[in-house]
């Protein structure tokens, strides 16, 4: 506003000078006005630079808002949230199954010989059944193992027997150990349900009479992890031989340190790993440099590293669809056509994928080729875009062009990365 006022004043002054003002005064005033104009030009340039800087900061903020953070750190508010529970008419209601006669261990009757209110006689009496399913009282099961040791005069060393079901050779002060089922339950409630070691102690003490300290359960977890390591390595080897692997990462914490929880999964196998790095080295470490399957992921830069250039990939169609929806919501007139056309093409591709089992091979091939050609035309590098966002998104699609519609040709491949995100 101030700049506009200065320019208006300059115009008014110029008009006044044309009406008979002395030459010396006019030249002096013209010099002052020219100085003011130069100052205006400098101010306009500074403001334009500041506006550009603020636009860049705003764009960074928008991108940062879409990045993953610590799980459940953000909650997206919904203007009109849906009512909780199942919607009316969704699914068939069924009664809980009655226990079979051989499952009933005890029957208790409540006789009714007369009216409990007035003592009168009863007619048309009926019997009613109710079944109570409860947990029986639980007491720790204690097993005593007796082993023997002796000195061998032949090999001159002391030997000792061990029962096949023993999990430890400890005796004396350490001779009371926790059994495998208790360890498994403690690890399950700790890591699957998120209980602290203190709450694990309280739960197993109150429900099962197992009195173990927090440190005891923590040490049991460590030994259980050592025993499970070969199983984990076997799962990793299974993934490396899989035809399709979905991958995703989310923010995590190791105490006060920032880290990342990675997941590698498909329909049969899931492997988690927690790393300080969010780089492509984690992908290579888990799947191996010679991974020959298809990697399904989002468009995060780590999955586009040079070490993964020769890998087969599928970029998540869901991420692209959400980005296109945001673009469409913020555009008007001709700028909105690009987002609508690409969205329509992706929807047709998803529909073709769903119809593929029922279509003849030649029909599917023809329809897939049409979609490929349309996509090439929509994002062609020679196409002129009037909107910078459309041009930027088309460039991104060209970068991932060979990884956009691969799900059409791999039967076990999903179009989205929802399996890993879930």
Rounded distance, CA 115 to CA 58, Å?
A: 79
Work out the pLDDT band at 86, boundaries 50, 70, 90.
Answer: low
Structure tokens at 285: 């470490």
Q: What is the pLDDT of residue 70?
A: 52
Determine which of 136-145, 244-253, 362-371 has the lowest per-residue pLDDT on average: 136-145
d(CA 115, CA 124): 13
SS (H, E, C) 311-370: CEEEECHHHHHHHHHHHHHHCCHHHHHHHHHHHHHHHHHHHHHHHHHHCCHHHHHHHHHH
DSSP symbols for 360-400: -HHHHHHHHHHHHHHHHHHT-TT---SSHHHHHHHHHHHHT
Position of tokens 């990462």? 249
Assessment of whether the complete model's pTM goes beyond 0.75: no
Nearest to 405 by CA among 380, 371, 365, 364: 371
Of 133, 128, 126, which is closest to residue 96 (Cα–Cα)?
133
CA distance 232 to 225: 9
Helices 197-208, 214-240: axis angle to 10 degrees equals: 110
What are the CA-CA distances from residue 45 to residues 7, 35, 37, 58 (Å)? 15, 15, 12, 20
Angle at which helices 361-378 and 337-355 cross, to 10°? 160
Tell the residue number behind the tokens 């599917």, with chain if given: 364
* Residue 136 DSSP symbol: P
Nearest to 250 by CA among 261, 266, 264: 261
Arithmetic mean of pLDDT, 9-24: 57
If you average pLDDT over residues 20-45, what whole number do you get?
83
The pLDDT tens digits for 217-262 are: 999 999 888 988 999 999 999 999 999 999 999 999 887 889 999 9
When pLDDT is averaged across residues 53-72 and rounded to a whole number, the result is 71
Tell me what pLDDT residue 1 has. Answer: 52
Place of tokens 């006044």: 16
Distance CA 92, CA 110 (A): 34
Q: For 350-364, what is each residue's pLDDT tens digit?
A: 999 999 999 999 999
Query: Which stretch of 159-173, 183-197, 241-255, 271-285 has the lowest confidence by average pLDDT?
Result: 159-173
Q: What's the whole-number mean pLDDT along residues 97-107?
A: 89
In this predicted structure, what is the pLDDT of residue 63?
A: 72
pLDDT at residue 79, rounded to an integer:
67
Backbone angles phi, psi at 152, to 5 degrees: -90, 120
């Amino acid at each position: 506003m101030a700049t506009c006022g200065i320019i208006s004043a300059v115009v008014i002054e110029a008009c006044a000078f044309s009406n008979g003002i002395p030459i010396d005064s006019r030249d002096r005033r013209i010099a002052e006005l020219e100085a003011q104009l130069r100052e205006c030009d400098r101010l306009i340039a500074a403001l334009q630079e500041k506006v550009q800087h603020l636009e860049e900061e705003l764009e960074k903020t928008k991108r940062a808002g879409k990045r993953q953070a610590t799980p459940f750190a953000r909650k997206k508010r919904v203007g009109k949230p849906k009512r909780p529970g199942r919607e009316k008419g969704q699914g068939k209601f069924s009664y809980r199954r009655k226990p079979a006669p051989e499952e009933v261990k005890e029957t208790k009757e409540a006789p009714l010989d007369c009216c409990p209110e007035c003592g009168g006689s009863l007619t048309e009496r009926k019997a009613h059944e109710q079944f109570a399913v409860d947990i029986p009282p639980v007491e720790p099961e204690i097993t005593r193992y007796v082993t023997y040791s002796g000195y061998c005069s032949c090999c001159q060393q002391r030997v000792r027997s061990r029962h096949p079901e023993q999990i430890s050779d400890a005796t004396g002060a350490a001779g009371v150990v926790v059994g495998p089922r208790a360890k498994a339950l403690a690890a399950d409630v700790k890591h699957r349900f998120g209980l602290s070691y203190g709450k694990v102690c309280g739960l197993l003490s109150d429900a099962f009479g197992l009195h173990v300290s927090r440190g005891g359960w923590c040490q049991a977890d460590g030994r259980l992890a050592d025993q499970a390591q070969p199983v984990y390595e076997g799962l990793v080897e299974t993934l490396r031989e899989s035809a399709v692997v979905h991958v995703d990462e989310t923010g995590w914490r190791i105490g006060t340190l920032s880290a990342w929880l990675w997941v590698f999964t498909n329909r049969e196998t899931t492997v988690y790993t927690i790393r300080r790095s969010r780089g492509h080295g984690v992908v290579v470490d888990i799947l191996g440099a010679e991974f020959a399957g298809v990697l399904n992921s989002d468009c995060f830069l780590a999955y586009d590293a040079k070490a993964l250039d020769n890998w087969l990939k599928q970029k998540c169609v869901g991420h692209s669809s959400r980005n296109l929806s945001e673009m469409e919501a913020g555009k008007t007139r001709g700028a909105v056509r690009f987002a609508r056309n690409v969205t329509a093409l992706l929807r047709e591709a998803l529909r073709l994928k769903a119809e593929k089992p029922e279509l003849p091979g030649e029909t599917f091939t023809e329809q897939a080729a049409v979609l490929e050609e349309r996509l090439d035309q929509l994002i062609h590098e020679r196409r002129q875009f009037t909107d910078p966002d459309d041009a930027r998104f088309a460039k991104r699609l060209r970068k991932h062009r060979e990884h956009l519609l691969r799900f059409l040709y791999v039967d076990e491949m999903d179009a989205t990365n929802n399996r890993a995100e879930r």
